[in-house]
Structure 1
């Protein structure tokens, strides 16, 4: 048995764990990194990277099919899905060296491959190695949540962890779940040539602004995606090559839908199994490790949790945000606190749907009287030139103009959201956007148009008009 003593032990080599390990090593801290699966975790191997590669391929097909409006004929379009598969995995392979064991060992990190399990509050065992650390960071991420539907375990269903291994295009794809993952994959496979049906109990993209989500859903319907809403799966059966879902409606009605493939996209659950948290005196719930506002375990002060396993927002950038907080606290003893409104999100459908800070509904609940300014992309010159004017920006402020949030739906929404998130974090006033000169023509100009709308009511002020008249009289 090998005993390893270190300052910091990180369990999980996904985005959050890698960020913690790299930053700590850069400060000269003795770091051990434990990973039982693939380096890079879900984001690199089965999440953000492969899904965006798939979306990029689907976008090319969609662009070719709609090129006539630009005077371009591309009638003969064929999709070789085996090559799409190769493209996806080539993208993964291109990015993988950044997350590789070799790179982290070159940074001075000791990388142990295997399952890490606590054997005491200060000790983790990995194979025949025992790691004793002053601080631990649990960064094990999450996996697809599979609902207990009768018959599901007896059919070959897909999740995001297996769908990117397909080398042939599904002829008819059933997508169970209308969240971001379900919608992104549904639209992409539809564009690539599958016939896709999305089954959702509630409203698709339910956490997003309803007005913005409706634009995305309508765009998906135009692409050919079918939606069966207000229905939950009661049972799953298989007959030959076909998988059939029995659906129960809100009114008690029963219906069926069949497909060649079934993709389960009903959410994610934190990965806690195998950690032996009881031995580490680490409290948890089904949502993840129980932590305080600084991401520290409430029962074992040696332990932090970051990313999906911390029970909050399940995004790669949230894990990286958490990593920065943990480094500040664990290494420098600086006080830190997770700010939920500091984490934006985006769904990479076409059009994209992004949120920075508070939604309109959340802002009304928290602040009461607010200001809401809308600007549509159909007044944006770049969007008009690109023949892609779906969507709008909705800026939300206090009565005095402090930015509370922004909802953006349209091409490039995720990129535009970054500047609004900075405004939220820095408690900026909407005047900053109104006074910013943007390059012309860009979609980002929509931010200034929304900001100017904040001042529109003052233009009708009789006092302002009298002042102008007086100044005009004075020459």
Structure 2
């Protein structure tokens, strides 16, 4: 990397790669590139580690873990262990969440990345032209740029929302007292995970979803999760359209319309959480100056994650691919990082394959998917097989009293695995083997031939796989062969 001093633009930096955004995807690109001896400049205007570390995956799963321990105390009597009702110290829960963030933060810190050899600029990045970025008093002219700026909570234009106090995933983890009544607008994964966590920690919770809660997942399996959440006392209202909100005393009133009750009904809560999706972080980048096409979904990229400016890639939440809809997951950003490293450093042709990307909603029971859903498989294939097995048929699930749930495996007529979905305990762990099967285009036979240790919940997958061959048991020719072979003793 060379430094020069243009007359009006500060220091000129000429790295091989300039990464904009220090979330999981940007950090992965920077770390991998510098490990190969490549000059890298990393620009981040906010917190290192991005949304995942500071506002997303890490704090939410830490909160979910605390809630699971509280719920475990309530369930202990069924195992002959009497502990009474849990006493939740919410200030300590808050401390636990931020201790987890603090324990991971050094791995994503400026100091660590500068120690690796990355030049880190803590400032806003802005494109000056098609091959130049300005940041922190520096002009950066890199061979390639990678935009990894992520996404932020999307706040819908609800009348009155600007006049009330509300929370998003960027502020809810700052609470040091448990809400009396948490009203959540949005019944997607974020809304449902936090709904269950706060309910288990002592809050009353109401979820308002304009369409179907967990509507992007298999409806049969999502139904299992929603039934459990309702059983725990969460009021989930689907088809509920928020007309307006208003401050009411120290709390908030949310006015709701539904098809069943066209007249507005007011729901009063102590706190309001807006969890209605996420929007790509594009503000301030001045993408038009670089000839980078973008829209409300994000930066438009091809299957190789290149933008309309061939020097520039976009990865993670900010990238909008050729297929409709973004997959805003940390592991997708990591997957994208690997692809662009191969493209930039080794000039290898790369293509994003969204069909192999799994995802998990960390409710209890968990909800996990990989590959095609049943509906998608029916739309693309003339003949499919749907294999299933219930947790209630699994001995480990019975031993742990975790019998809610099921696995659904989709194959084509020849047994190639097209997709799998699971609702149940440890679904996020079990889905890994099915994600591997989908990515490697494996056949269901592989799952009938391996030996699964007993007793494990992963056995439910093998039980489902065996179901592929059940119809052959009634084959008359097979039965005649067996009778014939008996003749030989």
* Class of the TM-score when normalised by the shorter of the 2 chains: over 0.9
Which residue matches 2:288? 278
Give 1:278 shift.
Answer: 1.0
User: In the aligned structure 1, how far is the partner of 2:251 from the partner of 2:13?
Assistant: 53
Aligned partner of residue 278 in structure 1, secondary structure: helix
Secondary structure at 1:98's aligned position in 2? helix
2:165 aligned with 1:151: no
In the alignment, does 2:349 pair up with 1:340? no
Shift of 1:12: 0.2
CA distance in 2, matches of 1:49, 1:81: 18
1:195 positional shift: 0.2
Aligned pair partner of 1:41 in 41, 50, 74: 50
Distance in 2 separating the partners of 1:469 and 1:383: 38
Q: CA RMSD in A?
A: 0.8
The answer to whether the 8 A contact 2:74-2:85 is kept is no
Q: In structure 1, how many angstroms separate the alpha carbons of the residues matched to 2:228 and 2:362?
A: 13
Q: Which residue of 1 aligns with 2:405?
A: 391
Residue 190 (structure 1) aligned with residue 199 (structure 2): yes
1:262 to 248, 272, 276: 272
The aligned residue for residue 378 of structure 1 is 392
Establish whether residue 315 from structure 1 lines up as the match of residue 329 from structure 2.
yes
| Aligned with 1:447 (options 432, 445, 461) | 461
Helix, strand or coil: the match of 1:406? strand
**CA deviation digits over 1:192-244, x for unaligned, max 9?**
00000000111100000000000100110111100122111110001211200
Aligned position for 2:132: 123
2:223 aligns with 214
Q: Which runs of 5+ in 1 are unaligned?
A: none
Extract unaligned runs of 5+ from structure 2.
1-9, 321-325
- Write the distance in 2 (CA, Å) between the matches of 1:3 and 1:59: 52
The number of residues matched between the two structures is 474
2:375 to 361, 365, 371: 361
C-alpha distance in 1, partners of 2:487/2:361?
Answer: 54
CA deviation after TM superposition for structure 1 residue 347, in Å: 0.1
What CA deviation, in whole Å up to 9, does each residue of 1:115-162 have, x standing for no partner?
001011111111211111000000000000000000001111000000
* Counterpart contact for 2:251–2:271, Cα < 8 Å: yes
Separation in structure 2 between the aligned mates of residue 115 and residue 8 of structure 1, nearest angstrom:
17
TM-score (norm 2): 0.96
Give distance in 1, aligned partners of 2:221 and 2:263.
30
Pick aligned residue for 2:34 from 11, 25, 31 = 25
Query: In the alignment, which of 174, 184, 203 is matched to residue 175 of structure 1?
Result: 184
Q: Does 1:407 align with 2:421?
A: yes
Q: Which runs of 4+ in 1 moved over 4 A?
A: none
